[in-house]
Amino acid sequence: MKYFIFPLFFLSTAAMAEDARQLVTLPPAAQESLRQEMLDNLLAINEVLALMAEGKVKEAGAAAEAKLGMSAMGKHRSKPFDARPGPHMPPAMHGIGMDGHKAVSEFAAVAKTGDRDKALALLPNLTSACVGCHFSYRTR
Ligand code: HEC
């Protein structure tokens, strides 16, 4: 019985599951730009959540718009082509990213009015594109 339980345990872990996500190969410089942007995204989400928890709803809206919303698009525009992630992504992947910025701006517009309940209802807009892209694509 002992011999049986061990493999079953491993089969049940995510590590054994086949990674069915689409592999996207970006130029190294674009990958590095993206990695930096992603770490900034993490910080920004944490900041917005903390502001919401403190009841600073308008501030949360302002931070979300500036750091994750449509205002945050085009950060890599002035970089060399090889260092710009967007143009090297498949269009559908790029689309998820752009839809994500729009979804954050929807949250931000409501939060900027100070309406906490309505802003809370749109809070998942902050992370839905993160999840959507990460569950569909990988770069390694
Ligand atoms: C359009 C697709 C896309 C969206 C949207 C997206 N990501 Fe990513 N993310 C990536 C890719 C691709 C990588 C891998 C980059 C690399 O090759 O290093 C990545 C990497 C990361 C990493 C790892 C960084 C590291 O240290 O290597 C974090 C954390 C992360 N993303 C967080 C987020 C968060 C938070 C959001 C939402 C605000 C988000 N991502 C939205 C595509 C996306």
Residues 40-88: tens digit of each pLDDT: 999 999 999 999 999 999 999 999 999 999 999 999 999 999 999 999 9
- Exposed (0-12), middle (13-18) or buried (19+): which is 93, by Cβ within 10 Å? middle
Q: Is 21 in the pocket of ligand 1 (CB under 6 A)?
A: no
Helix (H) or strand (E) holding 138: strand 137-138
Instruction: Classify domain 19-138 at the CATH topology level.
Output: Four Helix Bundle (Hemerythrin (Met), subunit A) (1.20.120)
Residue 97 Cβ inside 6 Å of ligand 1? The answer reads yes
Ligand 1 centroid to Cα of residue 60, in Å, is: 22
Separation of 2 CA from ligand 1 center, angstroms? 40
CA distances from 45 to 8, 102, 104, 132, 134 (A): 37, 15, 10, 16, 16
Q: What is the pTM of this model?
A: 0.89
Residue 17: pLDDT band by 50, 70, 90 thresholds? confident
Q: Where are the domains of the chain?
A: 19-138
pLDDT in tens, 75-134: 999 999 999 999 999 999 999 999 999 999 999 999 999 999 999 999 999 999 999 999
